[in-house]
Amino acid sequence: MILRNFFKDMKSLPKYKCLIRNLVSRDLTLKYRASIMGYLWSMLNPLMLIITYIIAFKYILGMRSISRSQIIVGVVLWTFCATAMMSSVKAILTSAPLLQKVTFPRVIPVISTQIFCLIQHLIVYPVLFITLLVLKKFPNFNWLYVFLILILLNIMLFGMGLFLSTVNIFYRDVEHFLAIAIRILFWFTPIVYNISILSERRFLKYIIAYTPFSPFVRSMTAVLCDGHPIPVECGIQMVSYSVAALGVGIVCFYSFQHRFVEAI
């Protein structure tokens, strides 16, 4: 029944493409309204984080084992993940007035939020690729794996968005706990350090290797920074996490969507 409702909503999406477009346009307009620099902020925010981490870890702490390109790729990908989670958790609540007045698939606000975050993320890629070229990281056929990584990552983030947006309706503390969890997850994801430096701390290495975003960051780093294909272990993890997150999200969302309007 739950899967039937989900696939029914997915099939009906073309009928609501104007609504999805308007919701995405609304979010973009609200984010950059009265902003002189506009979409440039999507590039400047991760850029400032990248500069900060490179100075802190390579030049202040003297951690020479990590490359600048790894920090750049990791921070760009992490910014997308963190933004998508923080936006998705509020997706249903933000669209509350619309949900109370108009009948449409309740999953649409989550989808539009995911598209909005993806657009912001993709804006950064031209600058990212140019930066990698400057750092002498030249493209090869393995760079095409970026599309597969992003597809799997978006599936996982969509599943997480379904779950988080549902739980946050009934327990508003979730949004605040998520903000703390994101900060903790950053340090448990190999972005500003190489997982290889933890070889003597096997238990910690095991935990970090299996955190939700670790295989995605490691895969993106391997593809863009080293020119290698996706590591087999990371590929298995990415598929497993994506399927699991989507499954949990669908079950949670479609089990409680009939109570959204009364709970908002």
pTM of the model: 0.91
Residue with token string 């290698």: 228
Per-chain mean pLDDT for the chain:
87
Residues 147 and 188: their CA atoms lie apart, in Å, by 24
Residues 5 and 105: their CA atoms lie apart, in Å, by 10
Residue from 152, 168, 82, 71 nearest 117 by CA: 82
pLDDT at 81: 95
- pLDDT above 60 (res 29): yes
Secondary structure (DSSP) of 27-61: HHHHHHTT-SSGGGHHHHHHHHHHHHHHIIIIIIS
First vs last Cα of the chain: how many Å apart?
24
Pairwise pLDDT comparison (158 vs 99), residue with the higher score? 158
Residues 58 and 67: their CA atoms lie apart, in Å, by 8
**Number of neighbours of residue 212 by Cβ within 10 angstroms:** 18
Chain-centroid distance, C-alpha 34? 26
pLDDT at 65: 62
Residues 224 and 197: their CA atoms lie apart, in Å, by 21
pLDDT at 139: 86
Residue from 14, 42, 18 nearest 28 by CA: 42
Least confident of 24-33, 127-136, 168-177: 24-33
Three-class secondary structure of residue 162 per DSSP = helix
Residues 43 and 57: their CA atoms lie apart, in Å, by 21
Q: How many domains does the chain have?
A: 1
User: Which residues form the domain of 119?
Assistant: 2-263
Q: For residue range 145-174, what is the model confidence (pLDDT) as tens digits?
A: 999 999 999 999 999 999 999 999 999 899
Query: Can you give the three-state secondary structure of 215-237, one letter per residue?
Result: HHHHHHHHHHCCCCCCCHHHHHH
Tell me the average pLDDT across 243-256. 96
pLDDT at 25: 87
Tell me the average pLDDT across 169-189. 93
Reported confidence tier of residue 84, pLDDT bands at 50, 70, 90: very high
Residues 238 and 233: their CA atoms lie apart, in Å, by 9
